[in-house]
Structure 1
Amino acid sequence: MTAPLIHPTAIVADGARLGADVRIGPYSIVGSNVTLGDKVELVSHAVVEGNTTIGPGTRIFPFASVGHEPQDLKFHGENSRLEIGANCTIRESVTINPGTEGGGMVTRIGDNCLIMANAHVAHDAILGNNVIMANYVGVAGHVQVGDNVIFGGTCVIHQFTRIGAHAFIGAQSMVDGDVIPYGMAVGNRATLTGLNLIGLKRRGFEREAIHRLRAAYRQIFASEGTLRERVEDAAEIFSQDALVQDVVRFIADAQDRPILLPRNGHETE
């Protein structure tokens, strides 16, 4: 382990906590309440401010703005936080804001996330592990994103929306409703277009598990009965299936936003 390597043109405020092997490149700025874990790298021209903690191995590229005050008119200087996990990649001109009093006081990004150029993560958003945000993606305030979610380029997620684990959001989509785990949503306004079958196969889910999930999906989004009734039926029929139960719990926990449905309101396959 070696001491931090700080370029002469960089500014590191008194009080900043730097781990071993940290590299702070040209013209970067680190605020007094920032903690950088071991082997964090600010490539150049990056700014990290506020009560921000960045996990080991994360890299931040030029012109990223991390930890500055939220873009929320209700923010009044409260002592909120931003937490970014280990081994993340934050590309050029990304903006990430800390939490607010109205949302739990923390914005949190998990481990191994890739946030591509010009993307935005707003106040009080919670992102899981292994999330990929392509260029120009906008995640609004209070959004919750599960593990292994992929966002296509230039899509936008409405505030208070939930995106379930292993979901895929197509490019240029405007998502204003909750997307079930393992689901795929596309469009403006986005609709549920099926399951993220390619993602499930790539991540090694067993064929039989995928077949059961597809059967449950067809039942939940069928035309007969109410959504609640169909979800209850799926919960009983697939009571021993972990993937189906993930979907059932997600729908049962809906609060602020509606569940995103297929275009015709039910599955037709």
Structure 2
Amino acid sequence: MSLPPLREVIARHGLSASKALGQNFLLDEQLLDRIARIPGALDGQPAYEVGPGPGGLTRALLRAGAQVTAVERDRRCIAALAELEAAFPGKLDVIEGDAMAVDEAATVPAAHVVANLPYNVGTALLVRWLGGEAWPPWWRSLTLMFQQEVAERIVAAPGTGAYGRLAVLAQWRSTAKLAMKVHRSAFVPPPKVMSAVVHIVPAEQPEGVSAAKLEQVTAAAFGQRRKMLRQSLKSVPGALDALGRLDIDSERRAETLAIAEFVAIARELSA
């Protein structure tokens, strides 16, 4: 199907990337098609996109055969997305609103999430999607564009400078990998930093562990990451006793603990 170039769509609708909404438009259609291929075959599969803007990645997902639900809070972009709805009848559902207010489990169950996330809500959405006691989650995979620094924090290994709470939350019951890097020049306007796409797939959840307890422990441990665990975990009831039972030295710092050790602490507190 022949669609007008994205630059033409942006010009015709008078669109410009909003700094307040954390927008940066991606216009390279070959690059967008590569991103849409990361989750695997999408033909006939539900896909969920947050912040489609003028619809560049949306086009790529539709070309891949996905059944797309897209949430956009920028009213200026709705007319451009309506043109895509008309071009792909019955394949695109656009929700105008705030993605933080969407009940995804009810709206897009079993969807592949593929999104160039707005920078100002990207991390908050990721933490929400990785959280909760229900597992497996409502999503089948997450293919998400972040600033490269954030992407590296998600896939980081223990003992590295990037390792922190995001790495533990992303890896304790999922597999997370850095799928591709994206140069700043690919965006309009170019951001000041490089970007990268992370791909996350749910895995087995360790038995006997409350997600809320793990979130509490990691928030405290990495909230004061320069301090020893005996200081940083003092605010979590029972955590210091759990360290003793697990023979984890309380003079260690959070970034030296393996994900399995955080899981073990959370299991002790969940019992």
TM-score range, shorter chain: under 0.3
TM-score, L = length of structure 2: 0.28
Q: More strand per residue: 1 or 2?
A: 1
Higher relative contact order (CA 8 A, sep 6+): 2
TM-score, L = length of structure 1: 0.28
Q: More helix per residue: 1 or 2?
A: 2
